[in-house]
Structure 1
Amino acid sequence: MNYNRGRGRGRGKPRYTQQYAAGHQSGPSPSTIPIPINKNLSVITVDLELDEAGSQWMSQLRSNWNYIKNSPIVVNMVLRKFEQAANPYEETLRIVYNCPDFKYAKQKSLAIFVIDEFKKWCQRVRSEIIHLLTGDVKLSAFNVVRQQNNFSMMKLVAEVYEMLEDCDIFFDIIQCMIQQKQYKEACQSVALLGLHKKFGINEFLVPLVLQDKTAVVEDFLADSIEHQTELVSFLDSKLGKNTSVRMAWDSYIHEHKIPEIKYDKIHTKPFRKFITRYKKMYNLLDEVTPNLIKKQNEGALQFLLQRRYVKNAIGDESFKEMVHEAVQNDKYLQLELVLLAAQYGDTETALHFALLYGIPKHDWPYNVRMYVDNPNNERHQQQQPANLFEEENWDEPVQQVDYYKLNLPIGNICLVDCHTEFNNFLENNLKHAHIVGIDCEWKPSFGSQKNELALMQIATRDEVFILDVIQLGSGAGAAQLWENLGRYCFNNCDILKLGFGLTSDMSMIGQSLPHTNINQKIGFLDLLNIWRQMEKQNIKLPFEVQSGGPSLSTLVQQCFGAPLNKADQFSNWEKRPLRDSQLVYAALDAYCLIEIYDVLKQCCENTTFNFDEACYHLMTSSNSSLKKSKKGLNKKKTVKPVLKQPPNTDFPVVDASDITFVCDTMLQGLGKLLRKCGISTKILDNTDDHMTCLKIYQDEGRYILTRGQTFSNFYGSVPKGHCFNVIYDDLEDALKSVLEYYKITVRKEHVFSICQACNSNSFLKLSKSTMQTLVRNDKFKMQNPIPAGLEEDDEATGFSSEEEVDDDFYMTAKLPDPPISRKWDLCSDEPVDVGLCRLRNGVKINVQAVPDGVLEKQDMYYVCEMCGKVYWDGTHFERALAGKLQEVVL
């Protein structure tokens, strides 16, 4: 074959434009070809129109494809077409463009099939046809293929048409895409063509972050270390402003005119989480995010002060260790620590840190200076730190808590911190053990620092061995010892391994000590799981506990009548030498597991609950697999079976505000109920295709809720558990199944915390007077329309802003006492255009939906910043709690 001949009749004329291709679906119409806006960017030099013979051939190809798909007949048909074409590259582009499924091409579509066959054919004859692959053909291919929605097809075409060899010719087109606000498409194209160095973070990366399209951003950043650091550093700079995060971004958004902003994500808490995740993901140094580190340390300081002085849940030594880790060398936080400790009444600790950090005496709090001048008179103040939130009661003595004690001599706690002792432990102390308790300790991390395993406790019935991971090391020198530990203990089916909340411990061991090669299917029992099963069977434990969540301390109290002392839980476990109180605490956490196991088993002896069988099922349930249904031999029609939902064993307990969903078209009622629970949920319209769920999942990471055959179709396209099969028709049962599967905790503060109409959780707080003014102006505009020719912007307008309040505010009207703290983002410092009845972002406030009677009774209103819907406090909250949400809200 000779590919040096002419281009053929009617080929190569620059007739079809990008505009035309965007609107084309079924076939071109020569009489309606528009004039291109920019010839250099949008012209397609390949004639995409089919002549009469080409139309007949295409019709036959479609027919064959519909009946026999990619059979040898269809393959030979397209191969002959390639061989007969004057320019196979142009001919292939013409065929693909005229495929009926071109615009929405799926993986097994005709358009993808043609490109894939052309790729194979090109590999055999490339030397004969490569001269026909000109720059104009590459530009045409790029302009054509970007009109469809499948990025996989874009990657395939880029490979076949060798676009990376001349990637610079696409620069202007991508710039045009950016100008047209096609940020996602521009980002994907740059990543595909390897043009990372040609573009900065502001062209599309920052806009995509503000649009919450982070999956596209992460794909781009995976191949560009420079952009990782630059983007995270820029985002961190917004945390350092004196204003709120929303205000810090305001000028940037308006300057770049970025559309489709996800305002519910532009607040301090979600933004800090986002930056923290990227810092961990790309292993960036603390110097890249100074503002994030400062915010995290401030939060850590507040957290530790709360645990020390309000909850009394951390010991003095542990508090001093951890609070020193939090403030580090930050002079502001050092002084803040001194002031707050003195404010809580702990003048001795305040003085300790004032001297430690060399804070000038004139900056000391008054009570600390008085304490130094006359310590004896002030001595009583530090005996019992004052609680700022409770009044001191002089009539009732302080009750001392009796904590559960270790039932082993101190001498039976063995610290293993050298290789000789480790080897002796492996060879001698595990030989006769049939049951062990396992626990781990690591230094708490309040920021983006990576947690490192510090201790591993292994308890037998007679001794507790504390393996000092830091001293023993995890490198090549200790690799064989850790491998032997995995062989002799973790992977030994003759030893029952007990834990509580084993997932986090096993994950930490696997991360820090990969040589252990743990197989969690061999003899691991999580006591938390067996405890939950016993509760479902109403099996009573020896002691009743009125309060307390599903913690190890609560279980110990139910078994033995006294809780664990968690004063050393928040310790610097990496500091050496370890304190005696730390060693006892670590030993007890592991040893009590064996004692608990004995009590649980004894409580089940005189019941119908088979304890041993339940334990065996929990330890082996991960091995069970779904049985495949047998196909009927005599059935004429084969029906694809609907898959069952795999059990959930991996998801941790989450708050309603920390998980997001997308509901398929058939689950719109469930989606509305989830929104009532304060769970961010996108709901597909009746006209939306089911595949939209997958697109939203890929773009936003939302878990998919669907049912029936659609679930079976999605199964395997997303990780296990990321798509849930709703089997209940009743809305309440469906809601409960979702909440139970994903272990979602819904509290009163979550209810009605997001807009029921648009799913936003960003609200503007308006006073009664402002709302009445808005209603009056709206009624006046209705009665006095604007004369023709005048725009709304020409009206004289006024702005009103309400006083600033905290993000967590209290709703008082008609709500239970005490008031419920709402889990939504409240922005009270945003001005409102009362003349136009609009928010500053241009959204129309729906004041017409506010009844006149409500205007006289309610003092406060909340306006959704995304859709303008107005809310006020009323009986709807109580009705919801007494209705469908009665059994799901804690």
Structure 2
Amino acid sequence: MFQLVLKIYELRHQGNGYMLPEIKRFLEKKKYNECALLAGHLGLQDHFTIDEVAVPLILQNKLNLLETYLRGNSGQQMLVVQFLDRMCEKGYNINNLVSSMSVPDVKMSHLQKKSISKLATRLAKLYEIPNDLIPNIVTARGLGALRFLLYKRYIENSMAAGSWEDMVENAVGDNETLQLELVEQLQWYNDAKSAAKWANFYKIPDEKLSHPVIEERKRLAEGPTSAPAAVGGEESWEDELMSVDGMDAYYYKLNLDPSSIQLVDTKEKYHECISRLSRPGLTIGVDSEWKPSFGNTTQRIALMQFATSDQIFLLDMITLHSLLHKSDWFLLANALFCNEEMIKLGYGFDSDLKMVVKTYPFLKEPLTHLKRTVDLEKLAAKVIDKAINLMPDTVGDSDDEGLEDKDSGVNVKFQAVEQRGLSELVRQCFGKPLNKGEQMSDWERRPLRNTQIQYAALDAFVLLEVYERLKETAKREKMEIDVEPPVTVKWSKDSKLDRMKAKAKNYRPPKSTFTPKPETTAYLGSEMEPGQFRVVVDSMLQGLGRQLRNCGVDVQILNYDEDHQKAVQAAMQENRIVLSSGTPYQTICSKIGAERCYNVDNTLPAKEQIVGVLQHFKVKVKKEDILSRCQVCNSDNFLQIPSKDVLRMSEKAENMKRSHGAPPRDSWDEHMLTTYQINSRNTSFVKTGVDIRIDTIPQKIFSIVDSFYICVKCGKIFWEGPHMASACEQFAHVLNL
């Protein structure tokens, strides 16, 4: 009601100070509720000190009212958080504050150090206060993080030593208070040896240490110095390695040779990775990692993993961040996540996508057009709900079996940590859980440890194995389940914290307005083949563009960073039809005429959009049109070469790379030059100089196919395989419309 009155009488405006006497009368009567509501909604907070309104609200534990009062006033927000920071200082006397304020109905039970610290931390995050202005809150955050890490290591035993040391070092940093707290806490956990090691690491003087730690420090100094033990863990590295060998009997392992794992940390490797992953028919496991923040740093994605059946790519997002441009990142969204030609698997995909968009906000719009992206968490819930056993070959396994390695000769027992999430799903599928000891790691530190690399690779690769097991189970149990459930865009919605931050800044998002969809002008032309149909597709319809190209249509697809004016130019200069939607359609239509445009219904999936376009323009697609164009560059000019010649070209390129030189030209080189206009000595076309992407062919393919098709324009290589039948099946709905 109060908000309605403010709006009707337009009370929130410049010069509304005439309301101040009324607010101050409430203040004199210690009616802090009324005072806070009026001053906050009228934007008059700067006329009051924090001691007059904000501090009494804190003492009375009226925190919702406090946030209402502070809304939209960054200056008051800063002052209040800094006041809370002082309250977090060691030795601060809350009783002195209460007795000096004369505030009625003080809630002493909510003014304990822990409660104030939690409030201070939350408001500092909400109001985005810089760390250097709130040193006590930063220390409180670090103390909470440190205690959490000690619990994970010593009570849960769920963190690997290397990960734990990295995270402790991050949490403690240069803060001397936290350094001393770490040493004291380690002694409390009865680990004086580790306490002494960390004391040495931080060069803490003896006078600040307890007697047991000083004695342990002396023993360390007297010991051998040639091979010091690792800081932060009681076991030596050798002991830890022995434990890792023993753990193989309990935890699920990567079923792929480590040589198949490739770290992608250059622009060239990135584009090669995208090229390999964008082959039609692939199923790809996707995962990502980021460093836990404990509230003191902004999180960003640090590593992305993409796994196929024979290779795993680890994208070093920290290194690539400074090497790639927006157009390169758009390629990741368009060629992989929004590509209907391959399946992408994830587990808890929402959190991965949220972190991608948090790091690269400009990818939010293109990623809302996800295609064939399967969240195994949701699929597994459906399958497990109906299946009795995901492992049909196992009966009556004991829950405790495998906790002891009986075959390796290493006498090691492991604490049975409760499995959750993907680890538990893997256990249900294959009998062993994942080792999540590296999950909470400093994923931004370079170089990555080998254990981190193995962990990250397995997390992506195991998704492929789990997906196959779920499909097998669904088929065996004759379940009527969609194994490619439709994706949602819940991840794209603002988080609760984002909404609260917007509210704190008094931001109101504009209300959407409904615009009636304009009708597309009827097409009066005759029937045509796909190759005769030339279109330019707006950036918001890239999925439709790729579908049309796969059906043989001549398609130019705009990138997300290209202006709609480019579509207008292509329509006028190259005689193309523009496919667009919404406001951009109206703008383009006004420039080139309705007969040169088509208004696509962007609420439909691309599979249905393509039917509407082909029917409207009377395009007749035949089986031979499917995949008749290069999916990369749109060319329909291919060179068909026998498999034996392509194999020899591949072997020659590999030999030249190893020998760092070119052997003398032979008769086969002349054959390739005269027959195909290919320079086999540098695997490129003679006329254009375009490199032939010979290294993208898996070795096993040479023995399966008879010939290859090389795109003359961009050098990409294609071949007929099972994906061809799959593509024809995928586009059966548009054949002979």
SS at match of 1:329: coil
Q: Tell which deviates more after alignment, 536-545 or 418-427.
A: 536-545
The counterpart of 2:430, out of the listed 544, 556, 560, is 560
Quote the residue 2:471 is aligned against.
601
Q: Quick check: 2:186–2:192 contact (8 Å CA) kept in 1?
A: yes
Task: Return 5+ residue gaps in structure 2 as ranges.
Answer: 236-245, 400-416, 497-502, 505-510, 512-737
- Please report how far the alpha carbon of residue 596 of structure 1 lies from its aligned counterpart in structure 2 after TM superposition: 0.8
- Please report how far the alpha carbon of residue 589 of structure 1 lies from its aligned counterpart in structure 2 after TM superposition: 0.9
SS at match of 2:378: helix
Quote the residue 1:411 is aligned against.
259
SS at match of 1:202: coil
SS at match of 2:67: helix
Q: Structure 1 residues 431 and 262, CA, compared in 2 at 3 Å: closer, same or farther?
A: farther
SS at match of 2:344: strand
Residue 119 of structure 2 is aligned to residue 274 of structure 1: yes
1:372 maps to a residue whose letter is: A
Distance 1:503 1:173 in 2: 49
The counterpart of 2:274, out of the listed 426, 451, 454, is 426
SS at match of 1:604: helix
1:313 maps to a residue whose letter is: S
Distance 1:343 1:382 in 2: 17
Distance 1:502 1:339 in 2: 40
Q: Quick check: 2:193–2:216 contact (8 Å CA) kept in 1?
A: no
CA RMSD of aligned residues (A): 3.7
Quote the residue 2:242 is aligned against.
none
Q: Structure 1 residues 346 and 253, CA, compared in 2 at 3 Å: closer, same or farther?
A: closer
Task: Return 5+ residue gaps in structure 1 as ranges.
Answer: 1-148, 387-397, 624-647, 655-697, 700-715, 717-890
Quote the residue 1:884 is aligned against.
none
- Please report how far the alpha carbon of residue 483 of structure 1 lies from its aligned counterpart in structure 2 after TM superposition: 0.9
Quote the residue 1:290 is aligned against.
135
SS at match of 1:441: strand
1:359 maps to a residue whose letter is: I
- Report the identity percentage: 31
Quote the residue 1:661 is aligned against.
none
Aligned ranges for residues 465-614 of structure 1 at < 5 Å?
Answer: 465-473=313-321, 477-516=324-363, 517-519=366-368, 522-542=371-391, 546=399, 548-611=418-481, 613=482
Distance 2:458 2:276 in 1: 22
Q: Which runs of 4+ in 1 moved over 6 A?
A: 378-384, 648-652
Distance 1:330 1:383 in 2: 17
The counterpart of 1:619, out of the listed 457, 475, 486, is 486
Distance 1:474 1:153 in 2: 52
Q: Quick check: 2:196–2:214 contact (8 Å CA) kept in 1?
A: no
Distance 2:354 2:488 in 1: 19
Q: Quick check: 2:35–2:53 contact (8 Å CA) kept in 1?
A: yes
The counterpart of 2:215, out of the listed 325, 347, 366, is 366
Distance 2:296 2:233 in 1: 34
Q: Quick check: 2:305–2:457 contact (8 Å CA) kept in 1?
A: yes
SS at match of 1:605: helix
Distance 2:296 2:191 in 1: 30
Aligned ranges for residues 634-783 of structure 1 at < 5 Å?
Answer: none
Deviations for 1:290-328, whole angstroms, at most 9, x for unmatched residues? 222212212222222232233332222222211111221
Residue 315 of structure 2 is aligned to residue 445 of structure 1: no
The counterpart of 2:23, out of the listed 174, 178, 181, is 174
Distance 1:249 1:359 in 2: 31
Distance 2:106 2:441 in 1: 42
Q: Structure 1 residues 271 and 590, CA, compared in 2 at 3 Å: closer, same or farther?
A: farther
Q: Quick check: 2:163–2:440 contact (8 Å CA) kept in 1?
A: yes
Distance 1:343 1:286 in 2: 29
Distance 1:650 1:418 in 2: 32
Residue 168 of structure 2 is aligned to residue 320 of structure 1: no
- Please report how far the alpha carbon of residue 503 of structure 1 lies from its aligned counterpart in structure 2 after TM superposition: 1.9
1:560 maps to a residue whose letter is: F
Distance 2:331 2:288 in 1: 18
Q: Quick check: 2:40–2:71 contact (8 Å CA) kept in 1?
A: no
Residue 187 of structure 2 is aligned to residue 337 of structure 1: no
Quote the residue 1:3 is aligned against.
none
- Please report how far the alpha carbon of residue 605 of structure 1 lies from its aligned counterpart in structure 2 after TM superposition: 2.2
- Please report how far the alpha carbon of residue 173 of structure 1 lies from its aligned counterpart in structure 2 after TM superposition: 2.1
Deviations for 1:20-68, whole angstroms, at most 9, x for unmatched residues? xxxxxxxxxxxxxxxxxxxxxxxxxxxxxxxxxxxxxxxxxxxxxxxxx
- Please report how far the alpha carbon of residue 480 of structure 1 lies from its aligned counterpart in structure 2 after TM superposition: 0.8
Quote the residue 1:304 is aligned against.
149
- Please report how far the alpha carbon of residue 152 of structure 1 lies from its aligned counterpart in structure 2 after TM superposition: 2.2
The TM-score with structure 2 as length reference comes to 0.56
SS at match of 2:26: helix
SS at match of 1:498: strand
Q: Structure 1 residues 461 and 400, CA, compared in 2 at 3 Å: closer, same or farther?
A: closer
Q: Quick check: 1:342–1:368 contact (8 Å CA) kept in 2?
A: no
- Please report how far the alpha carbon of residue 557 of structure 1 lies from its aligned counterpart in structure 2 after TM superposition: 2.0
Q: Structure 1 residues 526 and 272, CA, compared in 2 at 3 Å: closer, same or farther?
A: farther
Q: Structure 1 residues 330 and 373, CA, compared in 2 at 3 Å: closer, same or farther?
A: same
Deviations for 1:842-876, whole angstroms, at most 9, x for unmatched residues? xxxxxxxxxxxxxxxxxxxxxxxxxxxxxxxxxxx
Q: Structure 1 residues 180 and 434, CA, compared in 2 at 3 Å: closer, same or farther?
A: farther
Quote the residue 1:463 is aligned against.
311
Q: Structure 1 residues 357 and 553, CA, compared in 2 at 3 Å: closer, same or farther?
A: same
- Please report how far the alpha carbon of residue 268 of structure 1 lies from its aligned counterpart in structure 2 after TM superposition: 4.5
Deviations for 1:670-708, whole angstroms, at most 9, x for unmatched residues? xxxxxxxxxxxxxxxxxxxxxxxxxxxx99xxxxxxxxx
Residue 199 of structure 2 is aligned to residue 354 of structure 1: yes
SS at match of 1:240: coil
Deviations for 1:726-760, whole angstroms, at most 9, x for unmatched residues? xxxxxxxxxxxxxxxxxxxxxxxxxxxxxxxxxxx
Distance 1:193 1:565 in 2: 55
Q: Quick check: 1:347–1:381 contact (8 Å CA) kept in 2?
A: no
Aligned ranges for residues 112-191 of structure 1 at < 5 Å?
Answer: 149-159=1-11, 164=13, 166-191=15-40
Quote the residue 2:637 is aligned against.
none
Deviations for 1:220-274, whole angstroms, at most 9, x for unmatched residues? 434322211110111122222447xxxx544544543445556665445554333
Q: Quick check: 2:368–2:489 contact (8 Å CA) kept in 1?
A: no
2:368 maps to a residue whose letter is: N
- Please report how far the alpha carbon of residue 281 of structure 1 lies from its aligned counterpart in structure 2 after TM superposition: 2.0
Distance 1:349 1:233 in 2: 36
Residue 79 of structure 2 is aligned to residue 230 of structure 1: yes
SS at match of 2:88: helix
SS at match of 2:315: strand
Q: Quick check: 1:545–1:557 contact (8 Å CA) kept in 2?
A: no
- Please report how far the alpha carbon of residue 594 of structure 1 lies from its aligned counterpart in structure 2 after TM superposition: 0.9
- Please report how far the alpha carbon of residue 453 of structure 1 lies from its aligned counterpart in structure 2 after TM superposition: 1.2
1:296 maps to a residue whose letter is: R
Q: Quick check: 1:521–1:619 contact (8 Å CA) kept in 2?
A: no
Deviations for 1:318-350, whole angstroms, at most 9, x for unmatched residues? 222111112212223323433544665656644
- Please report how far the alpha carbon of residue 595 of structure 1 lies from its aligned counterpart in structure 2 after TM superposition: 0.8
Quote the residue 2:621 is aligned against.
none
Aligned length: 461
Q: Quick check: 1:433–1:460 contact (8 Å CA) kept in 2?
A: no
